[in-house]
């Protein structure tokens, strides 16, 4: 059974930073890609960043240069470092992984960017 638990969300002022963490239970963490998604108020869930088993990464255009995804295979953890945060980054952030035909999601962590 694969379980994902996010942490690190909160309230931050524009221009501030946060680091999200996602701890993944289950085996073979190191061979699977990990993603961060977000869903803002009244918006569809969107892919923010991905990191593959070989540490290659992809980002949504809206966060390039501001967000960094990373992984620590020894700790079964994926991170999302978010810098220069903007009000439009306000959303619930979800950790995700896919294993075969199955999708696994965390419970989400709220990030609010406001002065």
* pLDDT tens profile 83-94: 999 999 999 999
Task: Give tens-digit pLDDT for 13-49.
Answer: 999 999 999 999 988 898 899 999 999 999 999 999 9
Note whether 36 and 95 are within 8 A (CB): yes
Residue with tokens 């945060």: 85
């Amino acid at each position: 059974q694969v379980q994902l638990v996010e942490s690190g969300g909160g309230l931050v002022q524009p221009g501030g930073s946060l680091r999200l963490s996602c701890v993944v239970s289950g085996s073979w963490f190191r061979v699977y890609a990990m993603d961060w998604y977000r869903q803002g108020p009244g918006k569809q869930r969107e892919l923010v960043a991905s990191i593959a088993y070989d540490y290659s990464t992809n980002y949504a255009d809206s966060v390039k240069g501001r967000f960094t995804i990373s992984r620590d295979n020894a700790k079964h953890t994926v991170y999302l470092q978010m810098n220069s945060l903007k009000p439009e980054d306000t959303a619930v952030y979800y950790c995700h992984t896919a294993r075969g035909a199955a999708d696994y999601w965390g419970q989400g962590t709220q990030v609010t960017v406001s002065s």
